[in-house]
Structure 1
Amino acid sequence: MFDKKSNIAAQEAFGEAVNTGNVEAFDQLVAADSVDHDPAPGQQPGPEGYKAFFNEMRTAFPDMHLDVDTMVADDDKVAFAYTLSGTHQGAFQGHDATGKSIKVRGMQISRFTDGKMTERWGSSDELGILTQLGLA
């Protein structure tokens, strides 16, 4: 079933889970067999992969916040550009906390079926993060 409004609502709920750290919400928002076409190194598929990734990010950047800059949707996909910000207060990719703040942009496209994410494509400015932290 394709429902543009429920897909946007699911994407917005995913963003809220990222911003609040309520990663358990991914169980209701991400299909068990969801495929991430641009996973983080070692990221598992499905909700568990997103839980682990965002727990790691929130450990490194406890004040992490994702702001959606623009969003478009069709019947089964939602695409958006975002700004990610936070302060490096924990280990990140093997580097100790620097106390420095980051602000980077990224883009994502998600496919939904019955209100759950089934596929994701995305890109974040990882080099920008490392550069702003003085690690690149």
Structure 2
Amino acid sequence: MMETMTENKAVVRRFNEEVIAEGNLESFKELMDEQFINRSAPEGMDNGPAGMIYFFNEILRPAMPDIHVTIHQQVAEGDLVTTRKTISGTQTGALLGIPATGRAVNIDVIDIVRVKDGKYFEHWGITSLPEVLSQLQN
């Protein structure tokens, strides 16, 4: 069981480094279960794999091409991995309707991922994105 939890943490770390930070579509396909459900998808947004990659590669990356993920902490229990992290970058493109500001952006995230057979199966998350958006408008 201990080994599985360590492996699950490695899956989540890989997803953060290769998919979120680098935009690697091959890694995304490898790490994402076809039945994946994002329990924290905004109302009206695709809560499957397509919605997840759309958010990172079509919304976040164009706004912050220098995107970086810092993992502060990971805790695993059973098939769940909780990660506390910061997604950071410089807002050089429009972000959810807010024109480029050139400002440093730090989005704090705590998420829980259910890993099944080495793949993302379920996701819950809370982020400081709403606060960040309101700061960028000022």
TM-score (structure 1 length as normaliser): 0.89
The match for 2:4 is 3
Q: Deviations over 1:69-110 (max 9, x none)?
A: 111001201001111211111111112211111123110000
Aligned Cα RMSD in Å? 1.9
In structure 2, what is the Cα distance between the partners aligned to 1:80 and 1:33?
21
Tell me how many residue pairs correspond in the alignment: 135
The match for 2:50 is 48
Kindly indicate whether residue 130 of structure 2 is the aligned counterpart of residue 124 of structure 1. no
TM-score (structure 2 length as normaliser): 0.87
Kindly indicate whether residue 35 of structure 2 is the aligned counterpart of residue 33 of structure 1. yes
Q: CA deviation at 1:5?
A: 2.4
Q: CA deviation at 1:15?
A: 0.7
Letter in 1 for 2:134: T
Letter in 2 for 1:63: D
Letter in 2 for 1:127: P
Kindly indicate whether residue 73 of structure 2 is the aligned counterpart of residue 70 of structure 1. yes
The match for 2:60 is 57
- Give unmatched runs, 5+ long, in structure 2: none
The match for 1:22 is 24
The match for 1:112 is 115
Q: CA deviation at 1:121?
A: 0.4
- Give unmatched runs, 5+ long, in structure 1: none
In structure 2, what is the Cα distance between the partners aligned to 1:131 and 1:103?
13
**Identical amino acids, percent of aligned pairs:** 35
